[in-house]
Structure 1
Amino acid sequence: MNRQKSFTETRQTGVLYLVPTPIGNLEDMTFRSIRLLKEADLIAAEDTRNTIKLLNHFEIETKMISYHQHNEQNRQNDLIAKIESGMTIALVSDAGMPSISDPGFELVQSALEKNIAVVPLPGANAALTALIASGLSPQPFYFYGFLPRQNKERRAVLEQLAKREESWILYESPHRLKETLKAIEKIIGSERKIVLCRELTKRYEEFLRGTVLEMLEWAEAENIRGEFCLVVAGNDQKIAEDPTWSKFSLKEHVEHLLTNEEVSVKEAIKQVATIRHLPKREVYAAYHELK
């Protein structure tokens, strides 16, 4: 068992502080975060070129060292050794919480293996900021982050997310947003509620609330800019899965639900689309084409 009392122990080593930084608005930096960055012996930063702007703004003169995904394996042992020698190190990412879609997790693991105290600070986080203003159910929720880039892996992840009953949260860059929305529509259909949160806490902060189809239409017509957080409504449908459905055509599957479940044609089409991970319009067309 590893037991840590963050503020009541006399330590033989230094401390690793996890310090969140603003996700856009510098006023979101806490007094405590500023103080600890000033008091630390060293700041480990995801990108020193970005962090120096923050340090200059708050007149923080603490020495920095880089710690990012390309050097974290080599840098990790060096940082642990420095903490074991008594140094206090503050870990920061470019924006938000260290370790959340940013470097830090492996360093935390290594520190704990060496019985080094890891002390987190509360602060800015894009996922929670988006969630509480989305208008979708905030609890329970499921945070995923960035989807895989490869189509096969991304589809597999979305197929699992589509079944979740809680709201789920993704991060996405502007140049991949349209592709991601198309993948989401293909898996969960066009009617699920979704919120696109753009440039959170910044001057051009924007929330777009609607269906997957509406967001895809918006993305097709816009010159997309800014970093996005996507909040997707959970699956609230009672799905009548039948192990024999794979033998049915789409039309037969709809008719099977109409015969065996007390549902309308609209609801049967929606359930078949969900079960088969198809756009609702595809099931609708298959059902009505011979009518």
Structure 2
Amino acid sequence: MNGKLYLIPTTLGDTEPLEVMPLSVKKVVEQIDYFIVENEKSARRFIKKITPKKSQASLELMLLDKYADAFETDSYLDVCKKGINVGLLSEAGVPAVADPGATIVKLAHDNNIQVVPLVGPSSILMAIMASGMNGQSFAFNGYLPIDKSERKRAIKDLEKLSKDKNQSQIFIETPYRNEKMLADLKAALSPVTNLCIACDISLPSEYIKTYSINDWKKQKPDLHKRPAIFIIQK
């Protein structure tokens, strides 16, 4: 019988794992020695934090970063064919959602390996939950273009889409460019369009606010280098 691929969430920041995820995650991590990870150092830190007694020497970590090639990653689930379970560990939040790992999940399906998603913090879902916007129909759009004219066009396109479909439009930005993003949103969007900014989700410094663009023009939140989710709806 094949081993399973467990999709293991991590915290969204420096919080105690069991404050934001169920005990079942700890139990699974305790039982697994093979992990597919983005960064070895942070993965080991998380594993040590959630299972302090687990032997670090027993861990087999396979890197899934921008340098990993397809030939190498295609072998990452070979141990599952020997009945050994493997964990796909996110760098922050849940695996394979705005996060590398979808190729590994697809590989598991192609090889008849059971995929087991575990419950944990997802900044995208938590942001839409707290936004007051349409949670019945929403879309995640990843990063918007960096080029100023292309970004303005993308913002206007998302605004139109949100109105035409009554659909919340979600996107993210590199944390050090958050404040530039907010300035661009204020300039490009209609004064009556609603914008939610959710940053540092699940951390003590959590900030989640929804205002119209007209009201955001009166606000000056400190978003610099803080992981943030942006949601618009007209």
TM-score (norm. length: structure 1): 0.68
1:131 is aligned, of 128, 134, 137, to 128
Are the counterparts in 1 of residues 175 and 223 from structure 2 also a CA contact under 8 Å?
A: no
CA spacing shift, 1:223–1:121, aligned 2, 3 Å: closer
Structure-2 residue corresponding to 1:250: none
Structure-2 residue corresponding to 1:160: 157
Offset of residue 69 of structure 1: 2.9
Structure-2 residue corresponding to 1:115: 112
**1:100-124 deviation digits (Å, cap 9, x = unpaired):** 1111011111221122221111221
Alpha-carbon RMSD:
2.4
Quote the sequence identity (%).
23
Extract unaligned runs of 5+ from structure 2: none
**1:29-52 deviation digits (Å, cap 9, x = unpaired):** 321111111111301111121122
The answer on 1:204 being equivalent to 2:205 is yes
CA spacing shift, 1:32–1:224, aligned 2, 3 Å: same
Q: Which stretches of structure 1, 4 residues or more, deviate above 6 A after TM superposition?
A: none
Structure-1 residue corresponding to 2:100: 103
1:36 is aligned, of 28, 37, 50, to 28
Higher fraction of strand: 2
The answer on 1:86 being equivalent to 2:83 is yes
Offset of residue 189 of structure 1: 2.4
Structure-2 residue corresponding to 1:55: 47
Aligned AA (1:17): Y
TM-score (norm. length: structure 2): 0.83
Structure-2 residue corresponding to 1:147: 144
Structure-1 residue corresponding to 2:7: 18
Aligned AA (1:122): V
Where 2:112 maps in the other structure, the secondary structure is coil
CA spacing shift, 1:81–1:154, aligned 2, 3 Å: farther
Higher fraction of helix: 1
Are the counterparts in 2 of residues 19 and 33 from structure 1 also a CA contact under 8 Å?
A: yes
Are the counterparts in 2 of residues 20 and 95 from structure 1 also a CA contact under 8 Å?
A: yes
Extract unaligned runs of 5+ from structure 1: 1-10, 236-291
Q: Tell which has more relative contact order, 1 or 2 (C-alpha 8 A, sep 6+).
A: 2
Structure-2 residue corresponding to 1:289: none
CA spacing shift, 1:41–1:225, aligned 2, 3 Å: closer
Where 1:79 maps in the other structure, the secondary structure is coil
Structure 1 CA distance, aligned partners of 2:82 and 2:109? 15
Structure-2 residue corresponding to 1:227: 227
CA spacing shift, 1:149–1:106, aligned 2, 3 Å: farther
Offset of residue 186 of structure 1: 4.8
Where 2:94 maps in the other structure, the secondary structure is coil
Offset of residue 129 of structure 1: 1.0
Are the counterparts in 1 of residues 62 and 76 from structure 2 also a CA contact under 8 Å?
A: no
Structure-1 residue corresponding to 2:178: 177
